[in-house]
Structure formats: structure tokens, C-alpha cells
A and B are shown apart, each in its own frame.
Chain A
């Protein structure tokens, strides 16, 4: 560089540095308030809501509910459907202007609670104890419950009734143990159809792990327990069936998820949650199927529970109004309306009887509420779980002990922070 060039670049760099320090706290970033009383904006408020929708049915139902509250309270609510929920949430928090109310998944909740993005309002709800205990636990971090669970779903076994009868099976053959399931899947497997189609990831095979009495972490989420016989046996059971060709994963069936494999009849059975009702009704209306509880494992019944809560942002300027909206959205009537629209189960215990009466075919799902296990929700685990899921993608050939040990090591590094 010539001398003039060097001095010029130096002066540019210096000016740059000066500019940065001069504009102290830049306009876009908000400082953390940390107060416990909800912020309340005066006058009519426009609340921003961010949801991740399973389809038009859910979007319309949520919008209708929000509009109803808006009309009654004199505010407005703008509902936005996220195409990439995680990224849009993260970007919203980073920029200091997140949505006021949003879906918060139990599996990601701990990270946001830990970094202070969420406002803990559960203690201000009128009837917090009406929510199922296990659901409230899923949204508790360091002893404080942050938000109200909005609904929950569990996994159950869906069976294609046409394929079932074509294989010569009857009601008496409905599987209640692992061996039953394996033999039924074998009978249902044909050249064009796999016996059981599974979605990828621990959010499906985890059910088998629970049925064998194991789990990825210990009870208080301080230690990783994946490399234990309970977990390994459960996964080995699935792997043996995959190798035999009777269980197949969605990526082997050219499908995005278990429901798609099931709906396009590439699999005769699948393990999915409540959401499959809406998907089948919309995309595969001609499909005839039934739902039964998952078979028992060696250590008893087990399934996975999925739940989301209504998160309220700490950075929101209208928290009081947001909490009011959440109260309206979690009333028994509203939860039953959502159940009607897109097949989720109410998170309030007082709504359980109503639900069972109205949707008797969902009995297997609701039964899962008693023995279901929530997702992994320790902070910082997302990358570790993601890594485990990616290593399990080639399930048939995976070296299970090695993969599980790797999980334990990675999780250990994260959990001690």
C-alpha cells in the first residue's frame, strides 16, 4: 500500500470507531426492564401476535378468537403466521421489537426463559391451577411458571382400516405389546406399503423409549441418560424392524412426515398426534382410518406429549392487555372452539369431560395425558437434540451405542453451563 493509501484507510477506520462510540446505545436496542408488574399501554392498543399454524383451519380459528376479544376490549390484534417460527422469534427478540403474544413451544421454552425474553405472568392468571400439572411443569423454569399452556397433544397409533382388513386382521389383533406391533406391521407390509411409517427424530421414537422406562435426561434435567440400557433397547427394537423392512421412516418413503406417508398410503400405520385429524381431513379426505392407543412397552404404557403456551414478551409495551387476551384465549369455551377447529386438546382439566363427550374417537389421545412425557426442555439443548436427530436419520444403519454416547457427551457440556 502506498503511504497515502495507508493514512487514508487508517483515518477511515478511526472515524468508524469514533462513530460507534459516539452513538452510545443505538436506537434499535432496548434495555432489559426486569420489572414484575406488567407494562400497560394507555388507550386502545394494537397487539401483535405471532403463531405457527398447521393450516388454514388453525389460522382462521385463532384470528376469529383474537378479533372477538379485540372487539370486546376496544383494542386490535394483528395475527401473523410464521413461516419459520424459530427464526422469526429470535430475530424479533434481537431487534427489541418482538410480537407481544406468540406460541412458545415447550421444547424451546427454557432458552427464552433463561435469556429473559419472556415475561412471567402465570401468577397473575385467574385460574392457573386448572391447567394440567404436567403442562404447567413444562413451562416452569427455575421454579417460576412463565406462561399459560394453550393446549396439548399426544401420540397415538393410526391404522389404515382398508389395509388392515385386506391383510386379514380384525379388532382382536390391535397391538398391545411390542411383539404384537412387530407382527402386525409384518403382516401389513407389502411391496408398495410399509407396515408402520414413522416421522424422523426423537419426537416419535421417543415414545418407545418412554415405554421402556427410559429418557434422554434425568428427572430434573441435570444429567444426560441416553446411553442407558432402557434407551438403547427401545431404539434397537425400532432398528430391528427397520432392518426387516416392516418399519420405515418418512425419508425412506419419500415423505415429509409420518402423516404424509400414511395419507399417501405408503404406510399402513403411523404414529402421530392430534394434528393428523386436520391434515387427513384436508389433504387426504378419502382415507379411512382409526386411532388406538400406542402398545405397551416392557415397562408399561408410554407416549409423548407436546404442548405450547401463550408467551408474552418482556419487551412488550402492552403486557397487561396481552395477559387479558391470553385469559380470553384460554377460557374453556375458547379451548373447546379450538379443539373443534383443528383438533387440539384443551389444557384445562375442567374442559376434559366436555372434550371426551364431544370427541369420543379421541379417547386414545386424551388417555395419553396420563402417561405421556413432555419434550426435552433444558436450556441450550436444541443443538444437541438436533445433532442426535441428524445422526438418527439413517436409522437402519446407525451405530446406536456410539450415537447415544455422543449425545450424552454433548448434553453434558451444555447442562453444566
Chain B
């Protein structure tokens, strides 16, 4: 269970969403629903668009401005977008909590999980797509079956297994169960199936071994799918909460999501201090936004059409 369950989209959903996003940017034209669009229609569409955009952007602006407000200002003037007075109290207070530690933990876990998933998922996806071995179809069915298990069902059982293996409350518990995910294998398999086998035949004729073929020939061709996988893995680990709740108890092992969640449930003492929670939320969101923007630019440059098979 590696996706953020809280956004109500399962792993499969995220996979398809990301594939769809790839597709969207590679297609050059759209051509729907118009033809002869009157000015009235255009205005209506723009109005609706701006209205929705406001609804979607406003919460983030609130996040930004509230983190620079004082407690009193935040409570008394929630609609005001400019803090009065502007203060960095909230950030100072956050620096006093274990926030830097949580941030570090999240970064480490995310890097490990993303690297692990990109590597292991593509290995397995390639094997399932291209290599002949006994039980391949059975294995694939089993992986699909795993996709069908709702992540939340695994909360208690994963805790039991972690405990049983003796790694509960240790660093490995945070990332080892997340190193692989069924949806990622599914994506990579689908992608590899769409690649023409001529490349591999050429490599084989040249005498390259299976792993060599995979690593030097096929994998570089898989860039768009790998990017998709990287983004999904980043999201799946940076935003993950439930897994970290059950994986460890030690505050030194808190990741960003767990630590920030604890700020609302007593970590700050009495009273709800909004600037602090907003500042924490802001600091959590910035890395996500950066990664998002970075890869968005990659997409608009045009990706390999192989992603279209989604």
C-alpha cells in the first residue's frame, strides 16, 4: 500500500492518471466540442475556467499567507491575503520542533523508495513482458490480484509482519515494504510490451546477455515510462502516511507526514495554532511542487509515443 490513500485514488488509479497525463501532452491537437464557437460560448468557458481556477488556487495562497501571520491575525482575519503584521514566528517555532529531522527522514526514504521502485519494477516488468519462463502468467495474475487488495486492509497485517520479522520501529521498516509496488510493475510491463522486439534481437545477435540487453538497450528507451514511475514513486512515498504510522513509533523515525500530522493532535500543546500548521503544510508542499514543475516541463517537450499505449 504505497499510494497516499487519503486522496482516494488507489495505486491503479494513480498509474492510469499519470499515463493519461503523458498522453495528454504528447497529443498535439484536441478538437472537441467546438468548431463554430460563438463569443458567448468563449466567454462562458473562460468565466467557468477562472472560477474553478480560483477555487483551486486559493487554498494554496491561504497556506502561503497564513504562515506569515500571527496567531491572532490568522484567527481574526482569515480572508485577508496579506498578513498584518508580517512575521516569521511560525517558521521559527517549526524549526524548534523536529521538523528538520522529519524532512531528512522523508527525503532519505523517498530517495530509497524511488530508486528501488524504478529499478525493481522495470526489472520485473521486463521479465514479465519479454522473458519466457515457467509460471510467468501465473505470477502476473498474482500481481494483478495484489493490485485489487485495498491498501487499508493491510494496515494491521503489515504491522504484525514487521513485528514478526523484528524490524518494527527501525529505519528499514520505513522503506523496505515500499521498495516495490504492483502498479509500477504493471505499468512497466505494459510499456515494455509496446516496444518493438527488433532492438532486442539485434542486441542478442551481437551477443549481449539478457541483463546487458535490458540495461543498455531497452531501459534507455523506456524513459517516459520511467519518468512516470519516478513521479508515482515520489508521490507514493513523500505523501504516504498510514504506512509510517504503523511502521515505527520512535519520534526519531517520524517522516514529514507523520510529524506534521502530530502537530494537530497535541504536539503543540493546547490551542490550535494555525500559522504553524500552515507553515508546516507549506514546507511539505514546496518539494512536491518543485518536482512537479520540473517534470511538467519534461512532458511538454514531447515524450516517446510508447506511452500512448496506456
On whether A and B touch (CB less than 8 Å), the answer reads: yes
Q: Footprint of B on A, CB under 8 Å?
A: 1-2, 4-5, 7-9, 12, 23, 26-29, 52-56, 80-84, 88, 91-92, 94-97, 256-257, 259-260, 279, 282-283
Chain A residues in 8 Å Cβ range of B251: 80-81
Q: Which of B162, B249, B272 has the most CB of A within 10 A?
A: B249
Using known A-B contacts A1-B141, A91-B249, A260-B271, determine if residue A96 contacts B163 with beta carbons closer than 8 Å. Answer: yes
Q: Which of B164-198 contact A (CB under 8 A)?
A: 164-169
Chain B residues in 8 Å Cβ range of A96: 163
- CB 8 Å contact bits of B64-85 with A (1 = contact, 0 = none): 0000000000000000000000
Question: In whole angstroms, what is the CA distance A283 to B272 when docked?
Answer: 11
Nearest B residue to A25 by beta-carbon distance?
B164
Which of A5, A9, A26 makes the CB contact (< 8 A) with B163? A26
Chain A residues in 8 Å Cβ range of B159: 91, 94
> B164–A83 contact, CB under 8 A?
no
Which of B169, B246, B270 makes the CB contact (< 8 A) with A256? B270
Which of A12, A279, A282 makes the CB contact (< 8 A) with B142? A12
Question: In whole angstroms, what is the CA distance A215 to B25 when docked?
Answer: 68
> A28–B164 contact, CB under 8 A?
yes
17 pairs, A vs B, C-beta closer than 8 Å: A1-B141, A12-B142, A26-B166, A27-B164, A27-B166, A81-B267, A82-B266, A83-B262, A83-B266, A84-B266, A94-B159, A95-B249, A97-B169, A256-B271, A257-B270, A279-B269, A282-B270
Question: In whole angstroms, what is the CA distance A108 to B88 when docked?
Answer: 40
Question: In whole angstroms, what is the CA distance A55 to B166 when docked?
Answer: 34
Question: In whole angstroms, what is the CA distance A229 to B262 when docked?
Answer: 42
Q: Which of A1, A28, A53, A91 has the most CB of B within 10 A?
A: A28
Q: Footprint of A on B, CB under 8 Å?
A: 135, 137-139, 141-142, 159, 162-169, 246, 249-251, 262, 265-267, 269-272
Chain B residues in 8 Å Cβ range of A5: 137-138, 141
Question: In whole angstroms, what is the CA distance A95 to B169 when docked?
Answer: 9
Question: In whole angstroms, what is the CA distance A80 to B267 when docked?
Answer: 11
With A29-B163, A83-B267 known, 17 other A-B pairs at CB within 8 A are A1-B141, A5-B138, A8-B138, A9-B138, A9-B142, A27-B164, A27-B166, A28-B163, A28-B165, A83-B262, A91-B159, A94-B159, A95-B169, A260-B270, A260-B271, A279-B269, A279-B271
> B269–A53 contact, CB under 8 A?
yes
Question: In whole angstroms, what is the CA distance A9 to B135 when docked?
Answer: 10
Q: How far is the CB of B251 from chain A (nearest CB, A)?
A: 6
Which of B139, B164, B272 makes the CB contact (< 8 A) with A26? B164
Nearest A residue to B268 by beta-carbon distance?
A55
Nearest A residue to B134 by beta-carbon distance?
A4
Q: How far is the CB of B45 from chain A (nearest CB, A)?
A: 39
Question: In whole angstroms, what is the CA distance A7 to B138 when docked?
Answer: 9
Question: In whole angstroms, what is the CA distance A329 to B271 when docked?
Answer: 28
Using known A-B contacts A4-B137, A53-B269, A260-B271, determine if residue A88 contacts B249 with beta carbons closer than 8 Å. Answer: yes
> A27–B139 contact, CB under 8 A?
no
> A8–B166 contact, CB under 8 A?
no
Question: In whole angstroms, what is the CA distance A304 to B272 when docked?
Answer: 26
Nearest B residue to A54 by beta-carbon distance?
B269
Q: How far is the CB of B257 from chain A (nearest CB, A)?
A: 13
> B135–A8 contact, CB under 8 A?
yes
Q: How far is the CB of A272 from chain B (nearest CB, A)?
A: 11
Question: In whole angstroms, what is the CA distance A164 to B269 when docked?
Answer: 28
Question: In whole angstroms, what is the CA distance A81 to B249 when docked?
Answer: 11
Q: How far is the CB of B164 from chain A (nearest CB, A)?
A: 3
> A8–B142 contact, CB under 8 A?
yes
Nearest B residue to A84 by beta-carbon distance?
B265
Chain B residues in 8 Å Cβ range of A27: 164-166
Q: Which 6 residue pairs are nearest across A and B when measured between Cβ atoms? A: A8-B138, A27-B166, A26-B164, A83-B262, A55-B269, A28-B163
Question: In whole angstroms, what is the CA distance A84 to B167 when docked?
Answer: 22
Q: How far is the CB of A77 from chain B (nearest CB, A)?
A: 15
